[in-house]
Structure 1
Amino acid sequence: MTQIDRTMSLVRRAVDERISQAIAERRDEWSDAGPAAAELLDAAADLLGGGKRMRAVLAAIALSATADSARREDVLSGRACAGLGAALELYQASALIHDDVIDGALTRRGLPAAHRRFATAHRGSHWLGDAEAHGRSAAILLGDLLLSAAGSELGAALAQCPQGTRAAGRAAFDAMAEEVALGQYLDVRTESLPLPDEGADHAAAGRAMEEAALAVVRRKSARYSVMHPLLIGALLGGLPPHGEGARRLAELGEATGIAFQLRDDELGVFGDPARTGKPAGDDLREGKRTVLLALAWQRCDAGGRAILRRVLANTRADPAEIAAAAAIIEECGARAAHEERIDEHAERARRALEALITAEAGLSRSATADLASVISLLTDRSA
């Protein structure tokens, strides 16, 4: 077992146990609410039962970054890392549920999305009213419940950290939550804007589309997926919030997060559904204005753009139409250019790690090695 495998195993085990406990505590507390509480908590347990726990792992690596080798494993599997990891996972689950409602997604991690699950239960029980509306309402409320639970877990984790670090850690967590909401709206708004007219300068329009897509990536996913978990953990571990170390860690996290999301966008078109847990081409059907789409818009001809127009935001697009759009993206060179963008951001992350080491932020060799490993894990993946 490699070092990063060992780190991930310790953190995942501790976080899984804490999440299970959090759900069990609420089952006991709400035992008088009848089947309604069980319906919500069963859905939460199923959603939280999957995932790689990478945000929790990142936060734990950062929180334990200055611990010596004799103490590091105790910190990684300890109450602070477990609680912080649980808070991040609960927050992510909340965001995913709301995101799936917004997108009208059918699946999440190979299972029906929460709103689909609740709608199916409504129909199966022959309840009154509209099943789809019930599903959306129930999913929104489940997301709210998990958001509140994330706050409770964060409070418990902060209590395990030195008092002098708690305010900075809490502020970073709050900044993450606020920025994700902004990024989500940027995404929704961008998808609502009309595509460029056929008579427009397509290279210029594609560049503008790429810039807008990167703004969404930074605020909706890149910082939230990597940068903020690292910073929250590091600040709780005692890293000065305004020092060189924090600045370099933020650079590392944002660059890795951008590469991670760009890879996710590519998998959204070209990924294997058996590995990604969602149908290929869903991002096209949902009308996602990704960097990959922007690069294709710059490069393909009028016929290719016509195919993309027919597919984008068309929930009824059939597999043949999706395959034709994917072929356009591949053949015009957009996919290859997109790979170059991923490599550029991953390399920027590696340079930031080198600068972080020279900044004398007190990172242990184990933490440095783990950070180098997660850059590769997050940017070079197939699921």
Structure 2
Amino acid sequence: MRGLSWQIGLRYSMDRSGNQLVSFLSRLSMLGLILGVALLVVVLSVMNGFDQEMRSRILSLVPHITFQPWQQDRGDWQTLKAEVEQHPSVTAAAPFLQGNVMLIKGNAVEPSLLLGIDAAAERKVSRVGDFVDLGLLEGNREGLVLGDALAKKLGVEVGENISLGIPQSSDSNDVRFAKLPVLATVATGTELDQQLLLSSLETAARLLPSGQTLSLRVSIDDVFNAPRVAWELASVHGQDYIIRDWSQQFGNMYHAIQMSRKLVVIMLLAVVAVAIFNVVSTLVMVVNDKSADIAILRSQGASQGDILRIFLVYGAVIAGVGALAGGVLGVLLALGIGDIVAAIENALDMKLLQSDVYPINYLPSALRWGDIASVCGTAYVMSLVATLYPAWRASRMPPAEALRHG
């Protein structure tokens, strides 16, 4: 009889010749479960993509730790560099100069932060060289490298000249003006495109107020250890230098991504829960629809356990198909979500993700099979547990009452 219970349960789950309303609701509840699981997989993949891009792209373009002297006339950066690189977590250090400037092109004016770098050393502390040829800034060459979005705001093209207004003192209105060519633009796909302004160290030293002291940009082996490493370095050099790590600039954004991931998962689990409630209501209707069959089986010697197994098999099939199909659909959508969003942007001729609002201007996706297995497994177990009540109710139905209502 146990084998027969499995056969009957599978037959009920595949039979579409009975009550059309019950069959329609059964398919509808399964569709709801499929969509709920698929959406959860897609959203988790997108959130994982944001997390991955934050780690591999944004945090690889910015310094993990920076050293700036408390006083402009203090600090020996060569000695500091040698001492900092002795720390076991530090992989490289590079000098830089920075100062506030005003970029002017026609009627367009944009404030920015000029960053003077040593091209050879910069390649060791950031991945900016993956997006632009830093060799353009070697050999004391005059010129600027702009972020792509910043260049578009100003309406300036590569090869054109752009004017800079450089304040010479914080306590006076003395402003120095210079005109430099745009050597290249950088399109990283991140918010850095809105503000990036690079020059050679020599150019920055010539333009910025005199007395500027070179500072250090430091990279470490594990970017998420930056707060600890910065604290350890500050215990040695904090008296002479202001030491900051990336979390002070981008930490809120990273934690916001993590918080958004948790909130979205909770909301979509609620969607899956609603779909599972639909499965329960469908099974209750199936039990009522099959009451005559239940009475006949009981009169032929089927036990309460046999009836319980029949409807548990029925619910397990719906749960299994819904979770599996939802997982497959979610994987397919997650793999193509970037292309889908790009196609929508092209069709609507608009940018859905702007780097001045979001950390990146495209929709990333990173599939993690552990997440997919967890989502599908959780949906399946929740659905299976939800079938216990309708199956128990069917097993407790008296044969005489079932025949009277059937």
Q: Do both proteins adopt the same fold according to a TM-score greater than 0.5, normalized to the shorter chain? A: no
Normalized per residue, the structure richer in helix is: 1
Q: TM-score range by the shorter chain?
A: under 0.3
Q: TM-score, normalised by structure 2?
A: 0.24
Structure having the higher strand fraction is 2
TM-score by length of 1: 0.25
Q: Which has the larger radius of gyration?
A: 2
**Which structure exhibits the higher relative contact order, with contacts defined as CA atoms closer than 8 Å and separated by 6 or more residues?**
2
